[in-house]
Structure 1
């Protein structure tokens, strides 16, 4: 039996959230600020920003047992096998120390064929970790990257205090569902977390599934968030939503960068083009889910575009990369802290042959690991645009001598 100490979850115990909403039960972390949420009318973005990808509790304690009461919001799909419960990753003094899940929670059942959904409210649940040492230690609980998670209360058998922030640099990354963590196995397995761990930086992840669409309110959120390093992975959502033509895309990218530079004029800023996605390399969107094999647990995406439409200004990934490279080269003449990375350096032709995208759009867990390691080596390595000058990135995430 434990003599439990109950601690309300407050903003000072959270990392990676831009806003913390007070609810009837506790708090709900958000990855976009209230002002941005007020301007949003898209349910997809509303869901994505409330899913706490990269968000974690961080505290110092001597506790040997930790419990966290939560109310998750899960998603189910008509005709599909049940989805696995979201994973909570425990990290102690920087090392993986356990995983847990919560089966309870609210369930949103989506009928992809009909385009409808139904909400079934459910009860809270508890994720528990025990058998920890009684030494003073830094504890992180990384929240599920793919489940909206209302945090109710933290229980421990020793007092807790917010973990010291130290002097690690803050890296803010914005991208699509791939950056959000689609098809990764756990919250510390998504590629930005892998890269941040290896690079020895604090991550703020604005990877927003289906929603890296050059929205001005997202640019303002990036501009107004203190960060030492910024990266923007742009392109795939613009194509698969068939959102705009080339005429609009270039000015939209300029405007997005202009807004960020209003508040962060000298911050190292890396623009990353899309990774390889064969179906969209030379074929425009839109793309839609193919639910014909959903009953067997297989979901694939199919593009509805025609390569001939490129002539009329429709966007493909090849066009996106050319335009992003051109824009960054043009702006870098007056902005020495602006850089470009071709996303195919993270996942390209050889990777596609070895580790094909399972649904033709999103990488699997092994590919997330590879992309994170590649990004860490390219960006945080000794010659990288995010290098801190202290040496190469090591397997432990600490610069080597």
Structure 2
């Protein structure tokens, strides 16, 4: 480990960050955001504010001859009274694309969320330091270093120190894949940032991921469509459906035009970019039962978090949405639009995770996949979408 005077401190700027759309300068450091400031100003929603500030897919990327790295951060720990404690966020180190270490911090700001009322209270906490030593390659060898930030823990970046200078790493010709989705795309129940299904698929597909998966917030919001429109990308996918059922946000009459409008906005900025619409994976509680979704209070009393559908299946006749209804409508819309948009594609989410998969790998909380299922979905997406004949396959 180098002595104190050996460290080089490098300002953390947008040049060193990938996967973020904005970098907010705070009193303690810089906070990566996955939505632009303009978009964040358009919705006073605490759920979205929390989700977009959690840096799923965001990583520091630089080239250096260093053998040791330190990163000072302020992590935000979330506490849900009555629910199982959340594990600390994981920071993953990759050197020349290969896993080279994991670390975490146990302290930080603490946000306590009352699930019944939705109220929160925040207690400020200290700066924590991550240390990665003896990087592969040895002293004096130039290497590309990535530090993936926790996918589910808001992180203020305070300081980056190395025992040799750093510079931004080249992108090496990798295509930028811009993806939008729900908490499943965000990475709920994944155990590490490179283990979310989009990160798995990007690694297998050789793509540079920008993940706009927002827990509870894939709601066809116009500001999200504009963020997708205005973000440079070579490949785009949108995974739609489950959050609209969770929130019981709209009826079938509004859903179809909202999807058209969402896709129209994306096409304003990306008229010829391969654009993939993905329907929901299998989720038994909402296949034929509308939302809203609620926390199962009986299992909460036992210290287990599970979700339940509270709608009435008979209400689908009046236009309430279920996953089965949404899959059919998304398929219809893509078929209609593809007649004049040859770069628009559709993927049935059941090809990523269907009823047979649920029998073998059930959703632990009845809503989100576990770590093994994230890997399964990512591997299937890579094969079906990035593989030969897929919509994102090389020309």
Taking structure 2 as the reference length, the TM-score comes to 0.97
Aligned partner of 1:395 in structure 2 is none
Q: Is the 8 A contact 1:81 1:295 kept in 2?
A: no
In 2, Cα distance between equivalents of 1:74 and 1:273: 32
The 5-angstrom pairing of residues 143-162 of structure 1 reads: 143-162=149-168
1:34 aligns with 2:37: yes
In 1, Cα distance between equivalents of 2:380 and 2:84: 33
Q: Is the 8 A contact 1:8 1:26 kept in 2?
A: no
Q: Structure 1 residue 289: deviation in Å?
A: 1.2
Q: Give the length in aligned residue pairs.
A: 389
Alignment deviations for residues 26-53 of structure 1 (CA, whole Å, 9 cap, x no partner): 2110000111011011110011000000
Aligned partner of 1:398 in structure 2 is none
In 2, Cα distance between equivalents of 1:336 and 1:80: 47
1:50 aligns with 2:53: yes
Aligned partner of 1:288 in structure 2 is 294
1:73 aligns with 2:79: no
Structure 1 stretch displaced more, 52-61 or 22-31: 22-31
In 2, Cα distance between equivalents of 1:300 and 1:10: 40
In 2, Cα distance between equivalents of 1:354 and 1:344: 14
Q: Structure 1 residue 167: deviation in Å?
A: 1.0
Structure 1 stretch displaced more, 181-190 or 21-30: 21-30
Q: Is the 8 A contact 2:83 2:305 kept in 1?
A: no
One of 11, 14, 18 as aligned partner of 2:17: 14
Aligned partner of 1:343 in structure 2 is 349
Aligned partner of 1:90 in structure 2 is 93
In 2, Cα distance between equivalents of 1:110 and 1:32: 23
Task: Specify the SS of the correspondent of 2:41.
Answer: helix
Q: Structure 1 residue 238: deviation in Å?
A: 0.4
In 1, Cα distance between equivalents of 2:216 and 2:160: 32
Q: Structure 1 residue 236: deviation in Å?
A: 0.3
Q: Structure 1 residue 81: deviation in Å?
A: 3.7
Aligned partner of 1:278 in structure 2 is 284
Aligned partner of 2:67 in structure 1 is 64
In 2, Cα distance between equivalents of 1:93 and 1:43: 37
Task: Specify the SS of the correspondent of 1:292.
Answer: helix
1:258 aligns with 2:264: yes
Q: Structure 1 residue 198: deviation in Å?
A: 0.2
Alpha-carbon spacing, 1:13–1:382, altered in 2? closer, same or farther (3 Å):
same
Alignment deviations for residues 238-271 of structure 1 (CA, whole Å, 9 cap, x no partner): 0110000000000000000000111111000000
Q: Which runs of 5+ in 1 are unaligned?
A: 390-401
Q: Structure 1 residue 117: deviation in Å?
A: 1.8
Aligned partner of 2:212 in structure 1 is 206
1:166 aligns with 2:175: no
Q: Structure 1 residue 113: deviation in Å?
A: 2.5
Alignment deviations for residues 64-122 of structure 1 (CA, whole Å, 9 cap, x no partner): 11110000111011123421100001111011111000111101111213332211111
Q: Structure 1 residue 24: deviation in Å?
A: 1.4
In 1, Cα distance between equivalents of 2:160 and 2:121: 30
